[in-house]
Amino acid sequence: MISLPNELSNLISLTIFNIWRHSRLTLFSNKFGNLISLTIFNLRGRLRLTLFLNKFGNLTSLTTFNIRDYLSLTSLLNKLDNI
């Protein structure tokens, strides 16, 4: 079982797909009416991390390219803690 930080205690759905070197991690969380959508695409050896965060009516988009060789759910949740 995955231990989630308090910020994600209202986790609704976590879906992981791995099709033809494409990894997609979709994380939906509802906290105080805000939706967090985290999507990871793995395409041709490169990872694209797109984080859409709607907090207090503000939309923030964070995109990171060229994350290589390892990426775990724990490190993703730690990155969410730092936002």
Number of H helices, E strands in the chain: 1, 5
> Residue 18 falls within a domain, yes or no?
yes
> Residue 30 falls within a domain, yes or no?
yes
> Residue 21 falls within a domain, yes or no?
yes
> Residue 1 falls within a domain, yes or no?
no
Its domain, for residue 53, covers 6-81
Number of domains into which the chain is organized = 1
pTM: 0.16
Measured CA to CA, the distance from residue 27 to residue 13 in angstroms comes to 6
Q: What are phi and psi of 73, to 5 degrees?
A: -60, -35
DSSP code, position 6: G
CB half-sphere exposure, 64, CA atoms < 13 A: 11
> Residue 72 falls within a domain, yes or no?
yes
What does the pLDDT read at residue 75?
A: 66
pLDDT, tens digit (0-9, with 9 covering 90-100), for 31-78: 444 444 444 444 444 444 444 444 444 444 444 444 444 455 666 666
